[in-house]
Structure 1
Amino acid sequence: MPTSKRVFNWYISMVAAACMVLYGYDASVYNSVQGSKNWVAYFNDPSDNMIGLINSSYTIGAIIGGWFFGGPIADFFGRKVGMGIGCFLVIVSTFVQCFSPRGNIGCFLAGRTIIGFGQGIALVAGPIYIGECAPSHIRGKIMAFWQLFYSVGSFICFWVAYACSKHTASLGEWDWKMTVIFQLLVPVLVLCLLFTMPGTPRWYLKKNGNIEAARNALRRIRDTEEEVEAELLEIREALEFEKEAISSNYSALWKDRSVRKRLLIAFVLNAGQQITGQGSLNSYSTKIYQKVFKSASTIMLINALNATFGILFTLNAVWTVDRFGRKFLLVVGGVGMALSMLIVATVETQTPTLAGGAKSEPVAIAIVFLLFLFILFYKPSWGATIWIWTSEVFSMNVRAQAVGMCAQMQNVANAIVNQFFPLFLTSCGFYAFYMFAGINVLLAVFTFFCVPETKKMKLEEMDTLFGGANHVEKGANLMGYPSRETSIAGQGGRRVDEIAEVRESGQPDNKNAVHQVETVNSTR
C-alpha cells in the first residue's frame, strides 16, 4: 500500500507533467485548424509556405524561450516559477490567436510565437522538477507520465476539434476558435495548483544553501527521516564537488568532458525524436490524411482516435522503462518505427488512387492502421524515454540549462523538417516516408552503440556512466565525510532508494538509522 507521502509525490509530479499537456495540445491545435474551411477563409487561404512559417514560428519561439531563458529562470527563480511563467504566457497567447483580426495572419503568427516561447520555458522546468523530486527507483515510471500527458493534450484537442467539425454550420468561424480557446483549461489549472507544491530540495541547496528549506521539502516527499537526511547529504556532497572541482555555473558544459559527452548524445537523441516522422505527423496529419480521405470529419475522427490510442500506447512506458531500461526501448522503438514507415510508404505508393484523389477503403484503413502501429512503437520509446533520459543524466550544476538546450534541439529539428515537409508531401506524396524509415534505422544503430543505460541510477552518481567522477564520493571527501558505500546500518549496505523500494513492495525493513544521518546531525 503506497504511503501518503508517496501519493503526494505522484500528485506533484502529475501537476508538473501537466505542462506537457500544453505542448501536446498546441502541437495538435494548429494541425486541427488547418482542416477547418472557416480558418482557411478567415486568413485568406494561406499558402504552403505560410503554413510552414506559422508552424516554424512556434518552434522559433520555443527555441528562444527554452535555450536562452528556460534554464536561467529555473535556476534563479526556481522550477515552480518556470512552470508558472510558461503557463501564464500560454494563456496570453491563446487569446492573441483566438481573437486575431480577420485576415491578419501576422497576429495569429505572433500568438504562435509567444506560445512557443512560454512552452519553451515550462518544458525546461517541468521535467527537472519531476526528476529532482521523484525517488530514483520509480523515477522512470513517473517520468513516463510526462510523455503520456503530451498525448492527453492531443486527445483533448483532437476530440474538441472533431466535435466542432460536426457542428460547423451552427458554429461558423467558432469551429476553429473553440478549438484554440480550450487551450486555456490546463494552464489555468496548473497555475492554481502550483501553490500546493514544495520547491525541489536540490534547488534550495544550489540557490542559497538553504539546508532547512531543502530538509522541509524532502520531508513532504520522503517516507522516513532516514531517507530525508541521507538524500540531503548526498545532494550537499555532489554540489560541493561540482563547486570546488568543476564549476558551479554553466561553464561546466564545456569544461567537463563527461558533460560534453552526454550533451552531444542528448542533442542527437532529442533531434532524432522529431525526425522519426512523429513531428511531421503531429503537425501535418490532416494534410497527410487528405491524400487518403476526402471527408474532413473523417480526418478529424482519425486524429482524435490517434490521440486516444497515443495515451494507451504511452502507458507501456510506465511498466517497461524501469524494467527493461531506456536503451532497450529506444532500440526496439527505432526498429519498429522504421518497419512501420517502410510498409506504409509502400502500401500508399504502390496502390491505385481513385478518381476523386482518395484511396479505396481497404487501402485507406491499412494506411491508418500502419500509422497507428508507428505510434505504438514511438510513444513508449522515442516519445517518453527521450524525456526521461535527458532529464536524469546531467549533474545539478548544469541540469536546467542542459535540459533546456537538449529539449530545444527537438524544436530545431522540428523547425527544419516542418518548414519543407508540406512542399515535400505535395511534390512526393508518401515517398517522403521512406526517408523517415531510413532515419529510424540510423537512430536505432546510434542508440545501440553510443547510449549508456541509466535505469535506477541516482542523479548524483550519474556522471560515472559517462567517464566522470562520482560527485557524491568526491564531495564526501572534500567535506571530510565517510564513504557513501558504508550506507545503512543493519541493512547489509543497501542504499536508501533500495530500502524505499522494499518498503513500497510491502516487505518489512527494520528502519535502522543510517550512518549519514549521524554525520549530518553532527554538523547541524
Structure 2
Amino acid sequence: MGLLFENRKVFFIALFASLGGLLYGYEQGVLSQALVMTSFGKAFPEVRDASKKGWMTSILQLGGWLGALLSGYFAERWSRKHAICGSALSVVLGSYLQAGASNARFVYAGRWFTGLGVGSLSSVGPLYNAELAPPEARGLLVALQQLSIAFGIMVSFWIGYGTNYIGGTGDGQSDWSWRIPMITQGIPAIALAIGVWFLPFSPRLLVSKGREEEAIAVLCSLRKLPADDPLIRTEFLEIKAEAVFQREVLEEKFPHLTNGDGWADSIKLELAQYGSFFKSWHMFKRLAIGCLVMFFQQWTGIDAVIYYAPTIFSGLGLSGKTTSLLATGVVGVVFVLVTLPTVLVIDKVGRRPICLAGSFGMFTCLTILAILVGRFQHSWDSHPAAGWVCVACVWIYAMNFGYSWGPASWILISEIFPVSVRAKGTSISASSNWMNNFIIAFVVPPMLETITYGTYIFFAVFTLMGAGFIFWFVPETANKSLEDMDRVFGSNVAEREAEWLRAVQERVGLTEILNNFVGEEKREIFEDLEEK
C-alpha cells in the first residue's frame, strides 16, 4: 500500500479504479432501496405490478449488455480515455433523468443510459487501469477494483437506509428519500468524466497507433525513471512486442481486412474476430465454458438478492420497511468483508475449490430458505425466530457468493483464452453475464409473487448444476501456463503463439535486453560469493 502514496500517479490510478468500481457497485444496489419506499411507490404506482418492477430493474442490465459489447470497439477505435469519459457521461445523464423523473418513462430512460455507461465501464475501466499500472501494483489494483464494487453496493444500501427517514417512513415521506440516492450516483460519474483527462493515454494504445515516443514519455512519467533506464526499455519493448504480435496475427488470419482504415473495414474485422470462435471446436469449447461460467454465476440468484433484497426481507417477515432496509445494508457489509481476503488467497487455493465450496454453501442456504418460507410464509408473526434464521441464511448466502463465484468467475474467463483472442473471448463472456443478469432482474419479481418459496428451490437447483459444471467441465487455471490450457482443450494454439511471440520479442530487441539483465544478475551473484 505504501507504493500508492510514494507515487502520486499510481495513487490516482488506484483512485480512478475505485471510482469506476464504486459506480458499478452503486448502480447495482440503488434501485432496490427505492422500490420499497412509500414515496417512490406513490410517485410511480407502476412498481406495484411485478412485471413492470422487473422491467424497471432489468433495463439497466439490457443497457449494460450493449455497453459491454460496444466498449471494446470504441476503446480501440478512439482511446480508453475517450471511452471511459463517454461512459461516465452516459451514467451522469441516466442518473439525473432518474433523479428528476416526473413519470416512469424518465426512470426507464435513465436506467437505460446508466446501464450503457456502467456496462462499458465494467470492461474498459479495468483494462485501462491494468495498462497504466506498474507490474508490482497490478494485483493491488485488481483487489481495489473488486473491493470497490462491493463497497459501492454497500454504500447504495446504507444511503437508501438513511434517506428513507426523510419526511418519515409512512405516507408523509418526502420524494427526496429516493431522489437523493439517484442524485448521489451521478457524483462519482462526474468525477470520473473529469478526472480521466488528468491521466495519460494508455502506453499500449499509443504503441499500437505508432506513437512510440509518446508511449515512452508516459512510461517515464508513471515510473519516475529516465527514458534510458533498463526498466523503461524492458517494459516498452514488452508492450511493443505484444502490439506487433497482435498485428501479425490479425494479418495472417484476416489479410483482406487489415489493410483498410475505414469504419466499414474495422467493423468487418471486429466481426471476423468474433466469428473465429465458431470455426474450430477447441475455440468454441473455450467460449462455451466462458459463457456458461457467467451463466451459472448469475443463476445462483445473487443479483436477485442485490436488486430485490428489501423486498425479499419484507417477505421473510421483517416488520417495517426500515428494518428490511437495515437487513439489506448488512448484505453490503458482508460483500465488502469477504471480497478482499479472497482476492489475496485465490491464487493459492485455486478457482475450482473456491467455486465448489461457495456453491455448496449457497445451495445449503437456499434449501433452508425454501423449507422455512414454505412452512411459515403465512405465519411469520407467530414465528419470528424462523424469519431471522431466513435473514441469516441470506447473509451467509451472500458471503458464500462473495468469496467464490464473485471474483473467481471473472478470473476464469480471463485465463482460458489464448493471447490473440483473449479480449474478444472475455468480452463475449462478460456480455453473457449482463444478458443473464437482465433475465434474472426481469423474472424474479413475478417469481417471488407467484411461486414464493419455489424461487429459492429454483436457484438452489441451478447452484447445484453450477457446481457440477465446475467439477466436470471447467479446468483449473490457477498457476497454469497457456500451453497447459492448450493441452486441456486439445489444441496447440498457445504453443504456436508462444513461439511466434518469442520470435517477435527477439526482433524488437526485448530478448537481448532480458539476457543482459540475466547476465548482470549472475555477475552480481558471483561478486557477492567472491566477497564472502
Category of TM-score, reference length = shorter chain: 0.7 to 0.9
Paired letter, 1:473? E
TM-score, structure 2 length as denominator? 0.82
1:379 maps to 2:378: no
CA distance in structure 1 between the partners assigned to 2:445 and 2:120 by the alignment: 28
1:413 maps to 2:436: yes
Instruction: Decide whether the 8 Å contact of 1:66 with 1:120 is kept in 2.
Output: yes
CA distance in structure 2 between the partners assigned to 1:509 and 1:286 by the alignment: 65
The structure 1 residue matched to 2:392, chosen from 354, 361, 369, is 369
CA distance in structure 2 between the partners assigned to 1:54 and 1:265 by the alignment: 30
Decide whether aligned partners of structure 1 residues 479 and 321 sit closer, same or farther in structure 2, where only a CA change above 3 A counts. closer
Paired letter, 1:39? F
The structure 2 residue matched to 1:277, chosen from 276, 281, 301, is 301
The structure 1 residue matched to 2:359, chosen from 334, 359, 370, is 334
Instruction: Decide whether the 8 Å contact of 2:160 with 2:181 is kept in 1.
Output: yes
SS at match of 2:403: helix
1:400-419 per-residue CA deviation (whole Å, 9 max, x = no partner) reads 54443322212211222222
1:440-480 per-residue CA deviation (whole Å, 9 max, x = no partner) reads 22222222333344446789998787532343431343676
The root-mean-square deviation of aligned C-alpha atoms, in Å, is 3.5
Instruction: Decide whether the 8 Å contact of 1:83 with 1:122 is kept in 2.
Output: yes
Paired residues for 1:461-472 under 5 Å: 467=491, 468-470=493-495, 471-472=497-498
CA distance in structure 2 between the partners assigned to 1:142 and 1:307 by the alignment: 21
Decide whether aligned partners of structure 1 residues 450 and 79 sit closer, same or farther in structure 2, where only a CA change above 3 A counts. farther
Decide whether aligned partners of structure 1 residues 490 and 210 sit closer, same or farther in structure 2, where only a CA change above 3 A counts. closer
CA distance in structure 2 between the partners assigned to 1:30 and 1:192 by the alignment: 25
Instruction: Decide whether the 8 Å contact of 1:127 with 1:391 is kept in 2.
Output: no
1:173-217 per-residue CA deviation (whole Å, 9 max, x = no partner) reads 1111112111122112222321232333332233x2333333334
Q: Which residue of structure 2 aligns with residue 92 of structure 1?
A: 93
1:309 maps to 2:320: no
Q: Which residue of structure 2 aligns with residue 474 of structure 1?
A: 500
Instruction: Decide whether the 8 Å contact of 1:219 with 1:228 is kept in 2.
Output: no
The structure 2 residue matched to 1:202, chosen from 204, 212, 218, is 204
Deviation at 1:220, TM superposition (A): 4.6
1:400-439 per-residue CA deviation (whole Å, 9 max, x = no partner) reads 5444332221221122222222111112212211221221
Decide whether aligned partners of structure 1 residues 194 and 483 sit closer, same or farther in structure 2, where only a CA change above 3 A counts. closer
Instruction: Decide whether the 8 Å contact of 2:37 with 2:178 is kept in 1.
Output: yes
CA distance in structure 1 between the partners assigned to 2:284 and 2:512 by the alignment: 31
Mind listing any 5+ residue stretches in structure 2 that lack a counterpart?
A: 226-230, 259-268, 527-532
Deviation at 1:8, TM superposition (A): 4.3
CA distance in structure 1 between the partners assigned to 2:210 and 2:412 by the alignment: 27
Decide whether aligned partners of structure 1 residues 217 and 483 sit closer, same or farther in structure 2, where only a CA change above 3 A counts. closer
Q: Which residue of structure 2 aligns with residue 181 of structure 1?
A: 183
Q: Which residue of structure 2 aligns with residue 517 of structure 1?
A: none
Instruction: Decide whether the 8 Å contact of 1:86 with 1:119 is kept in 2.
Output: yes
CA distance in structure 1 between the partners assigned to 2:134 and 2:462 by the alignment: 35
Paired letter, 1:119? V
Paired letter, 1:71? G
Instruction: Decide whether the 8 Å contact of 1:487 with 1:493 is kept in 2.
Output: no
1:323-353 per-residue CA deviation (whole Å, 9 max, x = no partner) reads 2233332232222222222222223323474
Deviation at 1:485, TM superposition (A): 8.5
Instruction: Decide whether the 8 Å contact of 1:139 with 1:456 is kept in 2.
Output: no
Instruction: Decide whether the 8 Å contact of 2:207 with 2:240 is kept in 1.
Output: no
Q: Which residue of structure 2 aligns with residue 235 of structure 1?
A: 242
State the aligned residue count.
494
Q: Which residue of structure 1 aligns with residue 375 of structure 2?
A: 350
1:46-72 per-residue CA deviation (whole Å, 9 max, x = no partner) reads 3111101112222222222222x2121
SS at match of 1:481: helix
Instruction: Name whichever of 409-418 and 157-166 sits farther off.
Output: 409-418
CA distance in structure 2 between the partners assigned to 1:465 and 1:235 by the alignment: 24
Paired letter, 2:346? V
1:287 maps to 2:341: no
Decide whether aligned partners of structure 1 residues 347 and 389 sit closer, same or farther in structure 2, where only a CA change above 3 A counts. same
Q: Which residue of structure 2 aligns with residue 325 of structure 1?
A: 350
1:121-145 per-residue CA deviation (whole Å, 9 max, x = no partner) reads 2222012223444566775553233
TM-score, structure 1 length as denominator? 0.83
Deviation at 1:288, TM superposition (A): 0.9
Q: Which residue of structure 1 aligns with residue 448 of structure 2?
A: 425
Mind listing any 5+ residue stretches in structure 1 that lack a counterpart?
A: 500-507, 513-524
CA distance in structure 2 between the partners assigned to 1:493 and 1:427 by the alignment: 71
SS at match of 2:201: coil
Instruction: Decide whether the 8 Å contact of 1:349 with 1:430 is kept in 2.
Output: yes
Deviation at 1:40, TM superposition (A): 0.5
Q: Which residue of structure 2 aligns with residue 254 of structure 1?
A: 275
Decide whether aligned partners of structure 1 residues 392 and 234 sit closer, same or farther in structure 2, where only a CA change above 3 A counts. farther
CA distance in structure 1 between the partners assigned to 2:481 and 2:75 by the alignment: 21
Instruction: Decide whether the 8 Å contact of 1:129 with 1:200 is kept in 2.
Output: yes
Instruction: Decide whether the 8 Å contact of 1:70 with 1:401 is kept in 2.
Output: no
Deviation at 1:73, TM superposition (A): 1.0
SS at match of 1:350: helix
1:265 maps to 2:289: yes
Instruction: Decide whether the 8 Å contact of 1:90 with 1:115 is kept in 2.
Output: yes
CA distance in structure 2 between the partners assigned to 1:246 and 1:120 by the alignment: 29
CA distance in structure 1 between the partners assigned to 2:450 and 2:300 by the alignment: 20
Decide whether aligned partners of structure 1 residues 130 and 329 sit closer, same or farther in structure 2, where only a CA change above 3 A counts. farther
CA distance in structure 1 between the partners assigned to 2:371 and 2:11 by the alignment: 44
Instruction: Name whichever of 339-348 and 108-117 sits farther off.
Output: 339-348
Instruction: Report the structure, 1 or 2, having the larger helix content.
Output: 2
CA distance in structure 2 between the partners assigned to 1:79 and 1:464 by the alignment: 34
Instruction: Decide whether the 8 Å contact of 1:147 with 1:387 is kept in 2.
Output: no
Instruction: Decide whether the 8 Å contact of 1:341 with 1:436 is kept in 2.
Output: yes
